[in-house]
Chain A
Amino acid sequence: MQVTLKIFRYNPEKDKRGRYETYQLEADENERVLDLLEMVKGHHDGTLSFRRSCAHGICGSDSMRINGRNQLACKTLVRDLGDKITVEPLLGLKVIKDLIVEMEPFFDNYKKVLPYFINDSPPPANGKERLQSPEQRERFDDTTKCILCAGCTTSCPSFWSSNDYLGPAALVTAHRFIFDSRDEAAERRLKVVSETSGVARCHTVFNCTLACPRDIQITKAIGELKVAIITGKVE
């Protein structure tokens, strides 16, 4: 089928501001938007630049705005969109070139929540694994799925208004450790996320939950952090 593909273009070495270029492509309805971008790069304009790697929704490289919604280009098919497709970079992060945005503010926020396992008690004497029941494991399963694609954080109005809001992805990461029965630093992390740049900036808009390509219940997870802060209990 014939697809009209409109792509945001910006060359920092030549352009004062962004512009849109339109390409007409012959595409199968099972093709991914990523395949269309590669087609444009291969047949029409070699300068088109975008990040991508795994091409099947695991690495998070090709997070972008497709027909106005944050999605992974490799997980969005022509059949999901129809014959008029617009591709733009994520909002809220500075555009470097075409569909490539500055990711540092996003990763800086991630690092603020102590995004690593903390347990300073001695490891098991038998040298084996710490025990954890299937129920305990299930408690934080959802938030282990995050691939740091930034689709959530860059769909959030609180983040657009100020990049120092930690943002959904950082909060999801905090949740993953706080609710892991083996981790011992819940209090420290709850302190971080209870600051003004933390969970208070979540106004339950739900854009993050809709944007997540891994179907993580993000708003719910942030809600659980709020409850933990208020009650002083992690359950």
Chain B
Amino acid sequence: MQDIHEFDVVVVGGGGAGLMAGLYASRGAKTAVISKLYPTRSHTGAAQGGIAASLGNIEGDNPDWHTYDTVKGSDYLGDQDAIEFMCHEAPQTVFELENYGLPFDRTPEGRISQRPFGGHTNNETGKPVRRACHAADRTGHMILQTLYQQCIKNKVTFFDEYQVIDLLLVNGRTAGVVALELATGKLHTFHSKAVIFATGGHGRMFEVTSNAYAYTGDGVAVVLRRGLPLEDMEFFQFHPTGIYKLGILITEGVRGEGGVLINGKGERFMPKYAPNIKDLASRDVVSRAIYTEIREGRGVNGQNYVYLDVRPESVARYAAQDGRTNPDGTPYVLTAEQLLKKLPDIVDFNRVYLGIDPMTEMMPIQPTAHYTMGGIPTNKYGELVIDDKNTVFPGLYAAGECACVSVHGANRLGCNSLLDILVFGKHSGIRAAEYANQTEFEKLPDDPAAEARAQLQQLCGGTGTENVFDISTDLKNVMFEDVGIYRNEKGMRDAIQKLAELRKRFRHMRISDSGSIFNTELVNAWELGNMLEIAEVTAECALNRQESRGGHSREDFPKRDDQNWLKHTLAWQRDGRIEIGYKPVVITKYAPKERVY
């Protein structure tokens, strides 16, 4: 007696992309959103700084500047047609959010307020432009809540705390997914015509990360196991400012509001690395700068961290040095009161976790594993594509961090992810519903849950002495050390070997919980399996790419090499090995040039 549910469209993941996809798909077809968490727990809620859109509410801006900034930010690996599409959709996306009730901060004129953010510029002057639309430093929280509320209003069907384990492929099409109901341990089959993956990233495979525990790359791993390719997996972003040791994110918005980075010698070092926009350079540039300062012994007390200084007197001093002014021309200052108003959560994090007050003390920070640019390859409508010709696999879609459109190329600009999830969540939802209405169900295999059941049973059968904690600790160390901010051949080869050993140890791993109800140990074990496979793909692709570009930095190949490497990486898991292929980058208006900030 199997639990089988029939829907036209199934969305896997309940964050910003998943909710947007669910909202749009449900308008045209019978849709279900399946999430391993209650949707409001999704990681979208942790996003802080803002959503980028060239509204021009405070100063002149336009979508072409936004497009160019994103292309440059991507270190010229982003597909320019998709980027242009996204940046031109941005203003109406933000207005749509406001029409859904999102409580943006407001200008004195009552318009949506915008702040400067890393990498976003006025293309004529080269100076930072106010493009990030924000709700205090809780923009992600407000987006997540607002979209969930709209889903409730529109009676979207949810399956909460269901972990999708497998994707069903039959005759070159999809028949749906199989999911584990956490509350009962039962496997459910969701028979559907279309599946949209919106499962987020996989930063949890690194030791120091800003990512939630939930970020274990589930959709990416499920797709990989079903023989479909992944794209650009070597490109992982390390956000420059995570709280030292904890990895908790301190938004780039702090630097947008005037904060600066200071090394152990009390020097503001970013002008050395990015003479024009300094602390607001793109994230990979800043992370590498911090890492270099630390490596060269200029960390605080010789340790692995530097300071982020947003004390009012520092902000005023450096703003004056930079010639930064308010829109009316007066010198830019940030009072303690304004800091508390604009960045309340940051002040709170510092007080709670470090016992310090950022208004009077500097914050200890280090780069933290933050965002995967790579993932499930799609075109600009969110349709999953399987080769270098962008051949569409009918009925499969992906949106958000788990997808690679590619709009972020080798490095993502801040505030573009909240935009990405909404634009591509929307379009994948629309396309999936259209497709579902034009096609029949694919017949389910005889025992659709067989593969999922086998995977889980295998995990339960381990008789070794190690557990999930032991193996995941080692995984995180290997990845952070050898496949992190700076990579080299020897380190990556070591990593690949260690990962192979970890996969062997994983097969014998013991699970002590034999229960069915909320067996979180089994779920964590399955998630660990995902991360081990994704880690292998990441390391192999990183070793393969012999250049430095965006978030992928090699000490042994320190320069960007457009001649040989201006192309996307595709990777398949075949016969126990990772096979690598390539796909051309779509270049329309902006010829690649040297990337200087």
Interface residues of A (CB under 8 A from B): 11-14, 30, 38, 41-43, 45-47, 49-61, 75, 77, 79, 96-98, 100, 103, 107, 111, 115-119, 123, 127-134, 136-137, 140-141, 144-148, 177, 180, 182-183
Contact = CB atoms under 8 A, between A and B. Distances in A.
Nearest to A100: B518
Contacts of B517: 12-13, 96-97
B100 interface: yes
B98 A130 contact: yes
A61 B352 contact: no
B590 interface: no
Interface in B359-390: none
A54 B212 contact: yes
A118 B135 CA distance: 19
A96 B183 contact: yes
Given A42-B469, A75-B352, A116 B101 contact: yes
A147 B40 contact: yes
A132 B99 CA distance: 12
Contacts of A14: 515
Given A53-B213, A128-B95, A147-B40, A59 B45 contact: yes
Given A41-B469, A55-B212, A116 B150 contact: yes
B435 to A, nearest CB: 28
Contacts, number: 161
Given A43-B469, A49-B518, A147-B40, A115 B511 contact: no
B3 to A, nearest CB: 19
Interface stretch (B138-146, B188-196, B229-237, B552-560): B138-146
Contacts of B37: 53, 59, 61
B108 interface: yes
Given A47-B515, A97-B517, A129-B112, A77 B352 contact: yes
B301 interface: no
Nearest to A13: B515
7 contacts: A45-B512, A49-B520, A55-B212, A57-B348, A75-B352, A133-B106, A177-B101
B152 A111 contact: yes
Contacts of B43: 53-54, 59
B197 interface: no
Given A53-B212, A100-B518, A129 B104 contact: yes
Interface of B: 37-38, 40-43, 45-46, 55, 92, 94-95, 98-101, 103-112, 135-136, 138, 141-142, 145-146, 149-150, 152-153, 183, 212-214, 246, 248-249, 345, 348-349, 352-353, 355, 467-470, 511-513, 515-521
**Across chains A and B, which 10 residue pairs bring their CB atoms closest together, nearest first?**
A117-B101, A42-B469, A131-B110, A116-B149, A116-B153, A46-B512, A47-B513, A129-B98, A53-B212, A59-B41
B20 to A, nearest CB: 15
Contacts of A119: 99, 101
A134 B353 contact: no
B521 A117 contact: no
Determine which residue in A46, A61, A130 has the highest number of CB atoms from chain B within 10 A of its CB, and name it: A46
B104 A145 contact: no
B566 to A, nearest CB: 37
B518 A46 contact: no
B110 A133 contact: yes
B98 A116 contact: no
B468 A42 contact: yes
A148 to B, nearest CB: 5
A126 B149 CA distance: 25
B99 A130 contact: yes
Contact of B518 (A57, A77, A97, A118): A97
A143 to B, nearest CB: 10
Nearest to B138: A145
B142 A59 contact: no
Nearest to B209: A55
Most buried by B among A119, A131, A140, A180: A131
A50 B520 contact: yes
B349 A129 contact: no
Nearest to B215: A53
A52 B352 contact: no
B518 A54 contact: no
A115 B152 contact: yes
A127 B212 contact: no
Nearest to B519: A49
Given A41-B521, A43-B469, A97-B517, 10 more contacts: A41-B520, A54-B45, A56-B46, A56-B246, A56-B353, A96-B183, A117-B101, A134-B110, A141-B103, A144-B103
Contacts of B38: 61, 103, 107, 148
B467 A137 contact: no
A31 to B, nearest CB: 10
A103 B100 CA distance: 26
A83 to B, nearest CB: 18
Given A53-B212, A58-B141, A60-B40, A46 B511 contact: yes
Contacts of A133: 106, 108, 110
B468 A134 contact: no
B317 to A, nearest CB: 28
A111 B158 CA distance: 14
Contacts of B518: 49, 96-98, 100
Contacts of A117: 100-101, 146, 149-150
A18 to B, nearest CB: 14
Contacts of B511: 46
- Among A14, A128, A145, chain B packs the most CB atoms within 10 A around the CB of A128
Nearest to A144: B103
A215 B138 CA distance: 15
Nearest to A129: B98
Given A123-B99, A130-B99, A46 B467 contact: yes
Nearest to B98: A129
Contacts of A118: 153
